[in-house]
Structure 1
Amino acid sequence: MPITRRSFGLGLIALALPGCVGGGGGGGPVLSSGPGPGMSPVPDAGYDAWVQGFRARAAARGISGSTLDAAFRGAGFLPGVIERDRNQTEFTRTLEDYLAIAASPERVSKGRAALARHNGTLRAIEARYGVEAEVVTAVWGLESQYGERRGDINVISALSTLAYEGRRGAFFESQLIAALRILANGDTAPRTMTGSWAGAMGHTQFIPTSYLEFAVDFTGDGRRDIWSDDPTDALASTAAYLSRSGWRKGQPWGIEVRLPSGFNTGLAGRGKGKSVDAWSGLGVTTADGGRLPNHGAGSILLPQGANGPAFLIFNNFNAIARYNNAVNYVIGVGHLSDRLRGGGPIKGSFPPDAQGLTLADRQELQRRLTAAGFDTEGADGVIGGKTRAAIEAFQRARGLPVTGEPSLALLQLLRR
């Protein structure tokens, strides 16, 4: 079952909490090296008036004048933030496409290198909070590509712009108040409080209210610093978040399973838990046909329907879901953590997409478009903006109807 979500920060983010996945081959947005168009403050009289009114509301909630002065010195209205917020595109990403990005060879390779580089820190965090190092690293990998894409937009400017714009004004004003409390606490300074266009911050993309509730000072320097190049506090804060969300050390998030022929798919779904013995009695086995391990009661999940991979999910699935409730995200974190431990790809097959194309077909389409002079900037099999632009250019050059849509007919044309 595909998951619909909004773009909320650096990549593919659920609306309520942080979560970002980038992508190659046109599959997902890529953070630019600079703030981007419209991400520098511009004069706006309405915004200035709103800030004056907000200052009074913030003062009534205990924010000092000195904190407000420091926070808004250099901050301002960002038209690019409004543009991003008003032009979010609802889209559907299948689990197959999501995992092609979330557990790509590059992300797995970088994750294993990050695990080795920060092994001592991650194991110390694991010892304190009881969350495995690979799981914390997987969240880090999905949220900011292991710290490479933390965001460079002034958070006070972004949040105040969104609060002023008003579409979700109450939510963003609450985040702005929380950001000011972070500054008042001395955890960071206004110039270093940077993040995504929607205010998600640091290595693991905490929104300000989540930061206030869960962030920790693991280094012991008196600051909960999730923004610096040193990821220690951010990784520990993520572990603290998962621990307080009910993480059970030693229990997997889930395992891939094989369903018997004729399995009643009405038994599948989150919240429809059964004991491992009960599932075994119904003919469910591990993906390679073995006996199910007993990690407590679990539910069968079929994210792409009866013809796609099946998973038996446990309590820790729900702990990750507290971080980001999108099913694809939770499986993405879980599967990436398995890959970081040395596990292999998903064994089950994925059904063709709505156009009848398999992942291999989409990868071939991208390769052939690029070879024909219409660069898709990668061949991960995920059809994103760059691939659609390449298809449109190819169609225009060939005098075809310009749709930007992949199809078997287009692939057959490219094969000639």
Structure 2
Amino acid sequence: MQILRTVLSSVATCVVLSAPALAAQCGNSGGGFGQWKAAFASEAQKAGVGQRGLQALANAQYATGTIQADRNQKSFKYSLSKFMQVRGADTIVAQGRKRKSRNAGFYQSLEQRYGVPAGVLLAIHGMETGFGGFMGKSEVVSAITTLAYDCRRSAFFVPHAIGALKLVDQGAITNATKGAKHGELGHTQFLPGNALKYGVDADGNGRVDFYNQTDALASTANFLRKKGWKPGQGYQEGQPNFKVIKQWNAATVYQQAIAIMGARIDG
């Protein structure tokens, strides 16, 4: 999940929006969530959130499951071999190769435009949601506002909460849109602030839809390119583009797994 790429001290580099001053008082239980929302609404409005976004904030519920998940992130403590086994690396590679073969023109067009090879995008897609097989069942707005309220990492999540509310304003998501426990959304599990900034309407229908595979993968490629991806350069450890994979996820085993699986998919 994309939130786990923010766990290490390098999370500050992933913040994509300027956080408003934290006038709303954070908390460590659901008891103060309603009061926090009322205060945060003023901050959100000053940050440019409109009426639809403010209504989504008002309707948000304290997400107990999100807090439990945030306190219990174990898989990123595994060794690389164990991590790849648990996350089904062989299956991701096999399915990634089939998908690349079936839709070669699409992946070639993404590489031509953004410089990111198919293997990297497919490895991320497979790792994040099993190629769209499971994109989460938590309400995105409730999850991300809960994390913005929670004192543990409030400063990091506030910009993403603002991002989610602006996505509601734009019609990209609604208060009922489902995603991962930490508010990540769509095929490749974008945090809302990143979705707002790097989203691409790749199918040309006038709307960025992260639950549409075309938009989601183009947006992922755009994110990596904007973070410094160098077309034609390598992405294994020690190579120029490996540091860009770090921008996607701060966990070392995740970075290594994406690099290894991506190379295997591209063969």
Whether TM exceeds 0.5 here: the answer is yes
1:219 has 2:203 as partner? yes
Displacement, 1:244?
Answer: 1.9
1:246 has 2:228 as partner? yes
Task: Summarize the alignment of residues 382-401 of structure 1 with structure 2, pairs less than 5 Å apart.
Answer: none
Cα shift readout 1:274-321 (whole Å, capped 9, x = no counterpart): xxxxxxxxxxxxxxxxxxxxxxxxxxx6xxxxxxxxxxx311112222
Cα shift readout 1:121-163 (whole Å, capped 9, x = no counterpart): 2222122112112221112112222111211211111122222
Displacement, 1:248?
Answer: 2.7
* Aligned mates of 1:63, 1:95 — CA distance in 2: 41
Q: Alignment identity in percent? A: 35
Displacement, 1:164?
Answer: 2.6
Q: Go from structure 1 to structure 2 and tell me whether the alpha carbon gap of 1:60 and 1:174 turns closer, same or farther (over 3 Å shift).
A: same
Query: CA RMSD, aligned part only?
Result: 2.5
SS of 1:216 mapped into structure 2: coil
Equivalent of 1:50 in 7, 12, 36: 36
* Aligned mates of 1:144, 1:150 — CA distance in 2: 5
Displacement, 1:330?
Answer: 2.1
Would the aligned equivalents of 1:139 and 1:333 in 2 still touch at CA under 8 Å?
yes
* Aligned mates of 1:13, 1:223 — CA distance in 2: 27
Corresponding residue number in structure 2 for 1:154: 139
Corresponding residue number in structure 1 for 2:83: 98
Corresponding residue number in structure 1 for 2:217: 235
* Aligned mates of 1:202, 1:62 — CA distance in 2: 24
Q: Go from structure 1 to structure 2 and tell me whether the alpha carbon gap of 1:116 and 1:189 turns closer, same or farther (over 3 Å shift).
A: farther
* Aligned mates of 1:142, 1:91 — CA distance in 2: 13
Corresponding residue number in structure 1 for 2:252: 327
Would the aligned equivalents of 2:50 and 2:166 in 1 still touch at CA under 8 Å?
no
* Aligned mates of 1:90, 1:151 — CA distance in 2: 17
* Aligned mates of 1:134, 1:90 — CA distance in 2: 23
Corresponding residue number in structure 2 for 1:198: 182
* Aligned mates of 2:234, 2:60 — CA distance in 1: 44
* Aligned mates of 1:212, 1:74 — CA distance in 2: 21
Would the aligned equivalents of 2:131 and 2:187 in 1 still touch at CA under 8 Å?
yes
Task: Summarize the alignment of residues 3-402 of structure 1 with structure 2, pairs less than 5 Å apart.
Answer: 13-15=5-7, 16=11, 46-69=32-55, 71-72=56-57, 74-89=59-74, 92-102=77-87, 104-192=89-177, 194-227=178-211, 230-254=212-236, 313-342=238-267
Would the aligned equivalents of 2:144 and 2:161 in 1 still touch at CA under 8 Å?
yes
SS of 1:315 mapped into structure 2: coil
Q: How many residues align?
A: 247
* Aligned mates of 1:211, 1:8 — CA distance in 2: 11
Counterpart amino acid of residue 216 in structure 1 = V
More strand by share: 1
Q: Go from structure 1 to structure 2 and tell me whether the alpha carbon gap of 1:152 and 1:321 turns closer, same or farther (over 3 Å shift).
A: same
Counterpart amino acid of residue 233 in structure 2 = Q
Displacement, 1:176?
Answer: 0.8
SS of 1:122 mapped into structure 2: helix
Q: Go from structure 1 to structure 2 and tell me whether the alpha carbon gap of 1:49 and 1:226 turns closer, same or farther (over 3 Å shift).
A: same
Corresponding residue number in structure 1 for 2:24: none
* Aligned mates of 2:188, 2:111 — CA distance in 1: 16
Would the aligned equivalents of 1:126 and 1:132 in 2 still touch at CA under 8 Å?
yes
* Aligned mates of 1:95, 1:88 — CA distance in 2: 16
For structure 2, which runs of at least 5 residues remain unmatched after alignment?
Answer: 15-29
TM-score normalized by the length of structure 2: 0.82
More helix by share: 2
Corresponding residue number in structure 2 for 1:265: none
SS of 2:241 mapped into structure 1: helix
Displacement, 1:14?
Answer: 4.5
Displacement, 1:113?
Answer: 2.3
* Aligned mates of 1:141, 1:88 — CA distance in 2: 19
Would the aligned equivalents of 2:5 and 2:248 in 1 still touch at CA under 8 Å?
no
Cα shift readout 1:18-51 (whole Å, capped 9, x = no counterpart): xxxxxxxxxxxxxxxxxxxxxxxxxx66322222
Q: Go from structure 1 to structure 2 and tell me whether the alpha carbon gap of 1:144 and 1:242 turns closer, same or farther (over 3 Å shift).
A: same
* Aligned mates of 1:331, 1:101 — CA distance in 2: 14
Question: Quick check: which has more Rg, 1 or 2?
Answer: 1
* Aligned mates of 1:146, 1:108 — CA distance in 2: 11
TM-score normalized by the length of structure 1: 0.54
Would the aligned equivalents of 1:253 and 1:317 in 2 still touch at CA under 8 Å?
yes
